[in-house]
Amino acid sequence: MITKNLTDAVTQLKQGQLVAVPTETVYGLAANALDAKAVAKIFALKERPVDHPLIVHVLNIEQAKSLVTSFPDKAEKLAKAFWPGPLTLVLPKNDRVPELTTGGMQSVALRVPNHPAPLAIIEECGFPLAAPSANPFGRISPTTALHVEQSFGAGAPLVFDGGPCQVGVESTIISFLDETPCILRLGGLAVEEIEKVIGPVAQVGKSAQSIAPGMLPQHYAPRTRLIILEEKDPLPNGKLGLLTLNRSTNKEAFQAYEILSPEGNLEEAASGFYSALRRLDEASLDSIIAYRFPDQGLGKALNDRLERASHLN
């Protein structure tokens, strides 16, 4: 059921139930982050491994600080610069946060979403929300209320419709568990912007242990095989779809195609990325062909999503 009634969403959450809520990045499957029984319902509905941590959405820096044992200066600089926004900080948790919420880890991933609906819901509920993407684990993230309903079918929770997500890809995750801040997941805030505020940051290797959401080799994947090609590569046989930033040549070779931004705008491309991937996935194709994005700004995050969506396909 889709609703625009904020009271309905708050009531469900206060009763320990799940509600899909919009953010500026993607729709999240939300529950009381401090209630292990409610959080368990997230893992069950998504069929998500219980050792895979959840991002906790908070109202402000003060609420974030109430959930951790330390909040380093550089983390606070980033929070003040980019919250609300698509930035998640990984910090040492305190005992208020159940280990189920954090995948059994002694750290918690926190962010303030830049969308009026979740902020109003958190304020009305009086507790933070654990809210991974509102879709079956490993599949394409939802950026509209309808995507959530389509993802779960008859098992869909209440969905609060806050319109389409503006950023369109998940938040950037940075860890402050070691002396040097480390990017764990590329996302809606460019690394270049982070480094302007706190200086150089490290980046975790692709084979690292999954200590944050979105780090598994295969994630964000359509059911249709996705193949990343270079411009010079020959096309495979079969009914093909094309996912591209602004490449429009040789369109006749494709049964369906999605040009994300004719002007080559990476923000516009990110905003429409998952919706375009969903449309191609529903087009009865043999393969989806994708060409890499420029390796800068949000292009890095989009390339990361392509690589994980194509893994093992």
Instruction: Give yes or no for residue 66 having a pLDDT over 80.
Output: yes
What's residue 207's pLDDT? Answer: 46
With b for 16 or more beta-carbon neighbours within 10 A and e for fewer, the 20-39 pattern comes to: bbbbbbbbbbbbbbbbeebb
Q: Structural domains in the chain?
A: 2-203 (3.90.870.10), 225-310 (3.40.50.11030)
pTM of the full structure:
0.90
| Total Cβ atoms within 10 A of residue 211 | 21
> Between these two residues, 222 and 92, which has the higher pLDDT value?
92
- The pLDDT of residue 211 is 57
Task: pLDDT band for 299, please (50, 70, 90 cuts).
Answer: very high
pLDDT in tens, 163-216: 999 999 999 999 999 989 999 999 999 999 999 999 999 988 654 455 555 555
Q: What is the mean pLDDT of residues 112-126?
A: 97
- What is d(CA 234, CA 44) in angstroms, rounded to the nearest whole number? 42
Give the phi and the psi of residue 242 in degrees, each rounded to 5. Answer: -120, 130
**Per-residue pLDDT band at 313 (split at 50, 70, 90):** very low
Q: What is the pLDDT of residues 274-298, one digit of tens each?
A: 999 999 999 999 999 999 999 999 9
The dihedrals phi and psi of 109, each to the nearest 5 degrees, come to -95, 125
Provide the residue type at 1 as one letter: M
Spell out the residues 6+ positions from residue 159 whose beta carbon is closer than 8 angstroms to its own.
Answer: 1, 2, 3, 19, 20, 27, 134, 145, 148, 149
- pLDDT score recorded for residue 230: 86
**Per-residue pLDDT reduced to its tens digit, 71-105:** 999 999 999 999 999 999 999 999 999 999 999 99
Q: Position 6: which residue type?
A: L
